[in-house]
A and B are shown apart, each in its own frame.
Chain A
Amino acid sequence: GQQVMQIPQYQHVQEGEDFTTYCNSSTTLSNIQWYKQRPGGHPVFLIQLVKSGEVKKQKRLTFQFGEAKKNSSLHITATQTTDVGTYFCAGFDFRNSGYALNFGKGTSLLVTP
């Protein structure tokens, strides 16, 4: 079945540094979504990417979807302490997994002031 892998597992940065997390799928995805989970909280939707090569921005966050629709990345510019949390990518592969949204293990971001 489809698997989603994320690296790195953890990232510790100083406030103001940039951060990037990478997501790779074992199969071609129909679309990919990104979620953020704060410590003690539940996953909260950030964005969805659908088109090959798509790039979307949300303030300091930049999301990319690979040309082959098998990988994605999230880049945060000039991190702030409010960015602390775990970032998950989650992919749909309708052909192999139906409507199951499969999550990666996430990248935990710690930002120190």
Chain B
Amino acid sequence: DTGVSQDPRHKITKRGQNVTFRCDPISEHNRLYWYRQTLGQGPEFLTYFQNEAQLEKSRLLSDRFSAERPKGSFSTLEIQRTEQGDSAMYLCASSLVPGGNSPLHFGNGTRLTVT
């Protein structure tokens, strides 16, 4: 068990640019989550996958955000036309069985700064 891996750890981008983050979950974990966390707040749910299927997406999530998990293994989160309000820590988490019955294992996150 090597844990959940996220890349890059830090990303600084200019407003209007597109960014893409990668998450490698714990192998054999079939459920993958993306969260966003800002200072002093709890993780905010963005979306989750069961295998390659995106089963749920937050209604608050802008159309500029898209996520994929093409082969049911790693996942990518893309933000198009970034805005300063997108600056946050983006956390990925995975779990082995349906999330209601097992803990989420979080990665170290990707810290995005939009200038």
Contacts and interface: CB of A to CB of B under 8 A. Distances in A.
The finding on whether chains A and B are genuine partners in a shared complex, rather than unrelated, reads yes
Interface of A: 1, 4, 6, 30-31, 33, 41-45, 48, 88, 90, 92, 94, 98-106
Given A33-B103, A42-B106, A48-B103, 11 more contacts: A42-B109, A45-B104, A48-B101, A92-B99, A92-B100, A99-B99, A99-B100, A101-B33, A101-B99, A104-B42, A106-B42
B56 interface: yes
Listed from nearest, the 8 A-B pairs whose CB atoms lie closest are: A45-B103, A103-B42, A42-B106, A100-B45, A92-B100, A103-B43, A99-B99, A105-B42
B25 to A, nearest CB: 14
Interface in B23-82: 31, 33, 35, 40-45, 48, 55-56, 58-59
B99 A42 contact: no
Contacts of A48: 101, 103
B103 A98 contact: no
A42 B4 CA distance: 11
A92 to B, nearest CB: 5
A99 B40 contact: no
Interface in B80-115: 91, 98-101, 103-109
A31 B103 CA distance: 11
Contacts of A6: 42
Interface centre among B44, B98, B99 (most CB of A within 10 A): B99
Among A48, A94, A99, chain B packs the most CB atoms within 10 A around the CB of A99
Contacts of A42: 91, 106-109
A103 B44 contact: yes
A31 B100 CA distance: 7
Nearest to A105: B42
